[in-house]
Structure 1
Amino acid sequence: MSALLQQTLALYAKLPPAERFHVHARASSAPLLAVAARAPSGTVADIGCGHGLMSALLALADPRRTVHGVDPDPRKVAWARQALSGLSNVRLAEGTVEETLAKEAAGAFDAAVVCDVLYLLPEAKWPAFLRTVHGLLKPGGRFLLKEVEGDGSWKHRKALAQEWVMVSLLGRTQASGGMALKPRGEMTRLLADAGFSVSEVADLGRGYTTPHVLYVAEAKRP
């Protein structure tokens, strides 16, 4: 385990066992360090921050960053605030990105990070969501979108089953009618339609039982 990840997980030591387990499981099952490594300095939006794990990684990796995490789950935001209270460069808000950052800080961010969020939304809302993220960014700002690839593999099917358990059976994750996984060709098209220029599509699934894929894109300049 990297020193950065150890330092980050230590922030959650005083949370209840169930919350600590959730955070550690997330840290071990997703390539969050690879995502954080591609984030620039400056002001970064962490959309769908949950317990704040990515926000903490970004803040600790580069103290020059200011990280704004937002999530619609009040329970997770409360735990994140408790765990990350010692990080002066993290701001956390409860609500959707449309209700919070899009109203308060449009065009103000150097980067936006969305990890395993899009598939929880109804597909019909994806284009508007991506345009909202685009509106947060400065011209040329970076968008890091980490999703599970819909490639038809056993990893794809396993990921869907796992999320059904987390959303429908255990209620650990909030969803609003989504649970769709798309191939990378369709995702790059959606990003282009929302005004992004995709510079990298990184396969991050090696060593994991989930087909992780990261889309690195920039907001096109007017």
Structure 2
Amino acid sequence: MTTGDDADYESLPGERGEQAAAFDAIGDRYDEAFPHKEGQLAAGEWLIRSLPSGSRVLDLGCGTGVPTARQLVDAGHEVVGVDLSSGMVDLAREKVPEATFHHLDLADLHPGGRVDLGRFDGAAAFFSLLMLPRAEIPVALRTICHLLVPGGPFVVSMVEADVDNRPIPFLGHTIRVSGYLREELRTVIETAGFDILEETSYTYAPAIADVPPEEQVFLSCRRRA
């Protein structure tokens, strides 16, 4: 297994420009392809229950802002969303104007990165880490750990698959995805500094023909104090 424990974002090759361009073009069709988000909504409810009122929450890979940023704002939290796709950020600002959204790469947020958004009481990363090569995922998780207050709750979802930066067709475009089998995913998350409190999974068949069925894994975690 490649963990990338010593990797640094600046030294890792990436194809995030290609990824961003694909999601810029996909836009609202993403929500059309994934209309049923029971797992994401349930994980968002767990996060809401785990936070003090009025918490500051990071939505990493916020997409269109629906459902997670909207769900958190409606629960009374201050939401900061980050996405690599400027098109997705524009949609999120339209759909959830009460939140703050930034067009940023996660690499911008790691310790010593070019942007300091401060600390967060909680965080969510729904299907955003799977867009990274495997070597970068542990670095991303440690970055999230750095951004959270000690004991802060974190919800994350991935598609269960033993793949690394594999190109796949997606809504008329090509994106690259990575994944782990379940036990390996748990190990990567725990090694990054989180305790896993709950795990759920859903077999999901997207509404668009060129996106195959997938096994979605949702983990509810806390940053170790």
Q: TM-score, length-normalised on structure 2?
A: 0.72
Cα distance, 1:30–1:96 mapped onto 2, change above 3 Å: farther
Equivalent of residue 187 in structure 1, options 171, 177, 185: 185
> Cα deviation per residue 1:2-57 (whole Å; 9 max; x = unaligned)?
xxxxxxxxxxxxxxxx7444323333256221121111331111101111112112
Q: Structure 2 CA distance, aligned partners of 1:101 and 1:47?
A: 13
Q: Structure 2 CA distance, aligned partners of 1:21 and 1:197?
A: 35
Q: Structure 2 CA distance, aligned partners of 1:71 and 1:184?
A: 25
Task: State the SS of the aligned residue for 2:138.
Answer: helix
- Give the deviation of 1:70 after TM superposition: 0.3
Number of residues of Structure 1 aligned to a counterpart in Structure 2: 183
- Give the deviation of 1:114 after TM superposition: 0.5
Q: Which runs of 4+ in 1 moved over 6 A?
A: none
Equivalent of residue 199 in structure 1, options 194, 197, 200: 197
Is the Cα contact below 8 Å between 1:45 and 1:68 reproduced in 2?
Answer: yes
Unaligned runs of 5+ in 2: 1-25, 207-212
Is the Cα contact below 8 Å between 2:153 and 2:221 reproduced in 1?
Answer: yes
Equivalent of residue 57 in structure 1, options 47, 68, 71: 71
Task: State the SS of the aligned residue for 1:199.
Answer: strand
Q: Which residue of 2 aligns with 1:92?
A: 101
Unaligned runs of 5+ in 1: 1-17
> Are residues 1:73 and 2:76 paired?
no
Equivalent of residue 31 in structure 1, options 39, 55, 73: 39
Which of the two has greater helix per residue?
1
Q: Note the aligned Cα RMSD (angstroms).
A: 2.6
Letter in 2 for 1:210: E
> Are residues 1:114 and 2:117 paired?
no
Q: Identify which of structures 1 and 2 has the higher relative contact order when contacts are C-alpha pairs closer than 8 Å and 6+ apart.
A: 2
- Give the deviation of 1:166 after TM superposition: 1.6
Q: Which residue of 2 aligns with 1:148?
A: 159
Is the Cα contact below 8 Å between 2:28 and 2:64 reproduced in 1?
Answer: no
Bigger shift: residues 35-44 or 93-102: 93-102
- Give the deviation of 1:104 after TM superposition: 2.0
Cα distance, 1:30–1:123 mapped onto 2, change above 3 Å: farther
Is the Cα contact below 8 Å between 1:30 and 1:212 reproduced in 2?
Answer: no
> Cα deviation per residue 1:47-74 (whole Å; 9 max; x = unaligned)?
01111112112212x02x1111100111
Q: Which residue of 2 aligns with 1:213?
A: 217
Which of the two has greater strand per residue?
2
